[in-house]
Structure 1
Amino acid sequence: MTAQQAQPNGLLLIDKPPAHTSHDVVARTRKRAGTRKVGHAGTLDPMATGLLILGVGPSTRLLTYVVGRDKEYVATIRLGQSSTTDDAEGELASPATEAETAEIDEPAVRRAMVPLTGDIAQIPSTVSAIKVDGKRAYARARAGEDVELAARPVTVAAFDLHAMRRSAPFVDLDVRVECSSGTYIRALARDLGTALGVGGHLTSLRRTRIGPFSVTDAVTLDELAVPDDLLTSADAAESLFPCVTLDGSRARALGYGQRIAPDGFPDTTEPIAALTEDGHLIGLVEVRKGVVRSLMNFPQGTQGTR
């Protein structure tokens, strides 16, 4: 086996613990995997837990197609107090009075959730990683600058109330959110509290799904073993894209970067994962004007089998 073949290659599904940054997880994984070629798809705040997807070796290139997938979260929103960061790690404002939060009942909460569901324009939290004139918004906010971010279109496919608890003067809500990439759950907490007139912020957040990948299939950092826990590039691609299996001659031609006819390819405008008959990922392709064109090749020796 060559050194290239021995390199770890694939995706890792990690259940991120609290008080760790996404960079912390990447750094620890680099040590376990014995390579610096590790990246992640979608940052989680240190407070948050749950699914963090890492790419190792050549499969880091697949992260481009993971990061934009829809996501699912479970979270706890505290009504009755706002925060400078829209979560519990920021500077907390004076709480609402018990009399003010006593007016909030379940029907009122559900009514306030309706305008925050569907295709909405959301103003991100000021401590987000969005760049303003080349500098991260959170860096400007922490430097004491006034940060004004423009509203951005996002889709909140589901904003479900699972439980409601009172701890005077606060009301805590356990919620589930399905949303498009780029949606800020902290901003939903803020906007829900504003709509109810008492302020609100996020006290816990757990990401449970990114696209087809679930936290139930993830491992903890303490459990992580590389390469045993790697999802191969072929299996990852099959989860993410429509697939086609090519016979030897067509697989070789595509592997050499040649264009081939789209016989047997699915009718889609999405990228397509092309596999060999023995389960190697040749690469990602598209069908355009009756010809199969390569978008991303996985050279021989780095493909990753099932």
Structure 2
Amino acid sequence: MSALFRSAMPAPAATAAPGAGGSPAARGQDEPLLFANQVEKTYANGTVALERVKLSIRPGEFVSLLGPSGCGKSTLLKLFAGLEAPSAGHLRWWGGPALPAAIGTPGRTLAMVFQEATLMPWARVADNARLPLDLARMPRAEADERVRRALALVGLGRFAAAYPRELSGGMQMRVSIARALATNPDLLLMDEPFGALDEFTRNKLDADLRALWAERGLTVVFVTHSIYEAVYLSSRVVVMAARPGRVIGDVAIAGPDVRDEAFRVSPAFMQYCAQLSALLTQANTGFDPDAH
């Protein structure tokens, strides 16, 4: 496993290893963890961000939302996180109509990583990572132990007492990921977390995230603008078109469980990139899937 995400936290019990591409069938899971049925979102100014979105995500999948700016990827992620409500349609989490009420709900904990690290500059790394546990009023000893393990998992155990200003951009994003991992999530929502990083750091964090997903048995929904990142990370890539935001493609990525630099230059990788590029071209030319 990558050096960044070390095995410092115990894997959830009874979690099957992912099959080829992390397929839900290989994990024996049929019930969707997330389900959006004809979901729409219209803002008060009249902007239609999402229209008739239908999407099902099963436990153990790594699903990337790919599309041009303004296609509603981040809006859909916020709906999944419960940060916004749909204007029409229905959402379900773990088969139910509402999100679990608290951190620590067995098998049903959600965490979100935003585009920016969103750290408190006056607080040390450990205090930033402990924030959701403090808000949940978790006993301090338990919270501190969770934070210790989460920071070790992302390779920042030695930086617990540092301030954000003392860290690089990549390290700050690791703190944000550690803050999410400290909640022991089953579902991890990530809103283009590596988009502002240089290519070398981004590729490194992509590799480490993929390894973490495989080891921990997480379900991940990941927003990105990068075709290459989506293919490398995902078991499925959902392509969205803008004006208004809607799903126009859903591509299963049958890559190897262990993805390395060899996969990035393989013919299969390039074929998936070409397929997604063609879908994005359709997305930018006003493609309507209901008209075909």
TM-score using structure 1 length: 0.26
Relative contact order higher in (CA < 8 Å, ≥ 6 apart): 2
The TM-score with structure 2 as length reference comes to 0.27
Higher helix share: 2
Task: Choose 1 or 2 for highest CA Rg.
Answer: 1
Q: Which has the higher strand share?
A: 1
